[in-house]
Structure formats: C-alpha cells, structure tokens
Amino acid sequence: MNIALYHTTLPEPHRKVGGVEAVVHRLATALTVHAGLNVTVLSLTPAPSDAPYRHRQLFPNHRWLADRSWARWFVLPALLNSISLSEYDVVHLHGDDWFWMRRGTPSVRTMHGSALDEARTATSLKRRLAQWAVYPLEHVAARRANQVWAISPPCAARYHADRCMPNGVSLDRFRPGPKAERPTLLFVGTWTGRKRGSWLFEQFCDHVLPAVPDAELVMVSDTVSDACRAHPNVRVLNRPDDDTLAAWYRRAWVFAYPSVYEGFGLPYIEAMASGTPVVASPNPGADYVLDGGTYGALVGDSAFASTLTALLRDAERCQHMADQGLIRASEFSWAAIANHHATAYASLIDKPLQVS
C-alpha cells in the first residue's frame, strides 16, 4: 500500500518539537520499518535526517504558512486543495486540514486530543481564545474524512471516532537500565501552562527536599526561572536529543508529571517503558494510559508531593510500579501500533469514497 501522512511540520533540531509532529515522524518510521508500507510524509518543513520514509515538501518557498497561526489555520488548509493525491491509496491527516475538500483518495483523520480541553486548561487568554477558534474546525475536519481515529477513548467519544488508535513507544530506545545513585525525579514539559513545571519545582522545594534532602529534580523544559536554574538540587536540560532523554528516563527513580490535560501523554509510556514509576495529575490521557491508576499513581495536588516523597523512600513499591508499567508499555510498542494501522488502512481502501 502507498500511504501518505500529512502534518504541517516535522521535528527540526533548532526549535522545540511539538508532540503531534513527533508522533507523525515516529508513526511514519514504524509503518515503513515494521509494517513494510510505502510511506510518504507531506509537510511544509524538511524531514528529519533519520527518516526512512519518503518525504514531499509542500510550498517550499512559503514557510510563513507554517509559522503564522492565522495562515496555518485559515490559508494553508484551503491551499491544500491544489495538491494531487492520486498516487496514494490512503491519505492520513493529522491536523490543519479542515478546508481540504478535493481529495479523491480515501482519507482518515486522527484526533490528537481536543482544542476544547486545551482551551479549558489554557493559562493565557490568547491561547484560550485560539483553541476555542480551532475547536469547531476540528469537527469540520472530522466530517470531511472517510474515517476518524482518536488516540484515546475520551477523545474518540468527543469526535464520534470510528477507531481508537493510540500512540506508540520505541521499546528499543526507551528501556530499563541502572538508576541514578541519588533519589531522582524527572519532569519533561513546559515551565508554564498546563504542564505546570513551575508548580512542580515549588512542590519539590517546599515538600520533597525537606523530607529527602539528597533528592534531585531533573527538569527537561524549554525555560525555567533563574531560581530553578541556580538551585543546587535541580538539573535543567533544554532540548536534549532523543538518546539523552531516554537515558534520563532510565536513570530517574520517579517520573513526575502534573499536567492538567493530555489527549494521550507520550511521556507516560516513555517513562513506563524505561522502568520508571509514574506520578501524574488526573486528566483524560493519564487516566487512559495509566488505566485509572492501575499502572501509575493518579493523585490530586494536595497529595502530589507526599506521593513523590513516599516513593523515593520506598524502593519495593517503586519496583512494583515499575514492573506494572513495563507490562502496560508493551501494549503500546510501535511495532504493534504500526500493524494495527496497516490493517485499518487496508479496510479503508475497500470502502467507497465519502462525498463531502
């Protein structure tokens, strides 16, 4: 099968990598390597240097279409009608496609979360208004596709999806290994906004350190405060490469993720695959990936720091949670996810085109 995947951008080394673009790159890689499909990724930015799939760069002289939100949401989706898809059996869309009406090829749209939930949990007025504007466009995109897939059951319910197709994890890269000598917490996310890195830093200083004085907090974050960067018990990593990030997932004693919203939550499965217990704030993605707390600790704000402290002091409980997490992570291997996608693509080809 010839499969086209579309996302406006792909990961680039000079900027912060977005969650969906990383998933698209990894999915395309898995479909090529594990499922043996002929995959072409369509995007406005170049493919990463390690991409094993074919790449087709769209509108190469108009990078502004990807860089400016208004153009990405309202101009680019209309310009996509000029793109021919005749050489592909299926086109798999991952965003910014709501005005793409001239397809002529069976299409599937994956919903990677909900702009409505993004709006509800946004901490800035600008982002809240932007996500409110995108939310109805997501429903337009869903109606234009032959099938709608979603990365978690809550997301599937919101968009009346045909299938739940979760994201995957590389079990070769994210794997268990020796732990750090000192009690180590790991956070991967933004300092501000719904990921709440700044809040975790406060909890660490005010509650965890007094109980575990030799504890270390590793912050993989785009930016942090001066106080955080200067703290002797905090290590700050800005945009580490994949191998470095995976190494810290292995070394950490506990992965702490107080995000208030995730459509899925790749860091949860990356931590579990690395043999590291997860402590998370309740949200739809965490509830799904951790199966309601079966494979990790889902705790409210009042108990977050005390749960971290208890785990750092209890090696036996940490090991039990790590063992449970490895079981769960195995269900999300990219090999399995790629084969599920291949089967779904084949069934889609046999169905008549939907007329928009």
Instruction: Encode pLDDT of 306-324 as tens digits.
Output: 999 999 999 999 999 999 9
Q: Is residue 103 domain-resident?
A: yes
Q: Is residue 283 domain-resident?
A: yes
Residues 90 and 155 in one domain: yes
Q: Which tokens belong to 145?
A: 């596709």
CATH, residue 128:
3.40.50.2000
Does residue 355 have a pLDDT over 60? no
The C-alpha atoms of residue 110 and residue 321 are separated, in whole angstroms, by 31
Q: Is residue 177 domain-resident?
A: no
Sign of the Cα torsion 308, 315, 240, 218 reads positive
Residues 196 and 300 in one domain: yes
* Residue-by-residue DSSP string for 289-330: HTGGGTSSEE--HHHHHHHHHHHHT-HHHHHHHHHHHHHHHH
Does residue 222 have a pLDDT over 90? no
What does pTM read for this prediction? 0.91
C-alpha 188: how far from its chain's center? 12
pLDDT by residue (tens digit) across 235-292? 999 989 899 999 999 999 999 999 999 999 999 999 999 999 999 999 999 999 999 9
Number of structural domains in the chain: 2
Residue range(s) defining the domain that contains residue 27: 2-167+334-349
Task: Output the pLDDT for position 349.
Answer: 87
Q: Is residue 176 domain-resident?
A: no
State which H helix or E strand residue 36 sits in: none
The answer to whether 109 touches 97, Cβ cutoff 8 Å, is yes
Residues 287 and 312 in one domain: yes
The C-alpha atoms of residue 338 and residue 341 are separated, in whole angstroms, by 5
